[in-house]
Chain A
Amino acid sequence: KAGVTQTPRYLIKTRGQQVTLSCSPISGHRSVSWYQQTPGQGLQFLFEYFSETQRNKGNFPGRFSGRQFSNSRSEMNVSTLELGDSALYLCASRNPGGPLETQYFGPGTRLLVL
């Protein structure tokens, strides 16, 4: 079974631009969560989508948004990029209610904002 895939793997943007990151979950997984990882703040939860609806949201500004499609693929968008948005963005998928309640992470998209 293929794992979680994220595209692109690397991205360079400039301040003020916007960016869209994509995540394809493990087949059959209906929940996709997004995380931001930085050296200073560590791993922080952004939001979770399930059945095309945002279920939970972490403490991030409204510039960070996402959506989920009917095939469970998810996109994350960051508008008006700031230097501090440079980070590794990870998505994780899971199948709520499964025998092992855990999530599987993709390799991440490394975003550099100049």
Chain B
Amino acid sequence: LAKTTQPISMDSYEGQEVNITCSHNNIATNDYITWYQQFPSQGPRFIIQGYKTKVTNEVASLFIPADRKSSTLSLPRVSLSDTAVYYCLVGALGTDKLIFGTGTRLQVFP
């Protein structure tokens, strides 16, 4: 099973770009990489998902190198409301091989 590690915490200021990396050295061929955002007392909320190269949506970008052993979530121009815990999930939905990262607590300052 892919073991996933993330930085425990990161600090940023409003308007800056934040990049959070997740390491998953043992990722399997059919595993996808998904990122979630979680606020206190709420369930995780889907941000973005990818398999390889780059994926972009209206809130974030996801960069996955060719070896897929890591992934980087990029949040452009963060705001105070982006203060949350961010988790990467490695695995394929519909299987029991779902591994969440340890989570990165992002604190955004004014």
Q: What string of 1s and 0s marks CB contacts (under 8 Å) between A12-44 and chain B? A: 000000000000000000010000000000111
Contact B46 A107 (CB under 8 A): no
Output the least CB separation between A59 and chain B (Å): 8
- Measured between beta carbons, the chain A residues less than 8 angstroms from B94 are 31, 48, 55-56, 96
- Measured between beta carbons, the chain B residues less than 8 angstroms from A108 are 41-43
Contact A4 B43 (CB under 8 A): yes
A73 within 8 A of B: no
Bound complex: CA of A113 vs CA of B32, how far in Å?
Answer: 35
- Measured between beta carbons, the chain B residues less than 8 angstroms from A57 are 96
Q: Which of B34, B43, B44 has the most CB of A within 10 A?
A: B43
B interface: dominant SS: loop
Task: Report B21-49 residues with CB < 8 Å from chain A CB.
Answer: 32, 34, 36, 41-46, 49
Bound complex: CA of A61 vs CA of B101, how far in Å?
Answer: 22
Number of contact residues on B: which range applies?
Answer: 20 to 34
Interface size of A by Cβ–Cβ distance < 8 Å? 24
Contact A107 B96 (CB under 8 A): no
Bound complex: CA of A96 vs CA of B42, how far in Å?
Answer: 23
Quick check: which of A64-72, A79-87, A97-105 contacts chain B, the rest being far away?
A97-105
B87 within 8 A of A: yes
Contact B43 A43 (CB under 8 A): no
A76 within 8 A of B: no
Contact B100 A42 (CB under 8 A): yes
- Measured between beta carbons, the chain A residues less than 8 angstroms from B100 are 42-45
- Measured between beta carbons, the chain A residues less than 8 angstroms from B87 are 43
Q: What string of 1s and 0s marks CB contacts (under 8 Å) between B67-100 and chain A? A: 0000000000000000000010000011110101
Residue of B nearest to A3 (CB): B43
Known contacts A102-B34, A107-B41; A45/B46 CB under 8 A? no
Could you list which residues of chain B lie within 8 angstroms of chain A, going by C-beta atoms?
32, 34, 36, 41-46, 49, 87, 93-96, 98, 100-103
Can you offer 8 A-B residue contacts whose CB atoms are under 8 A?
Answer: A31-B94, A43-B100, A44-B100, A96-B94, A101-B32, A102-B34, A103-B46, A104-B46
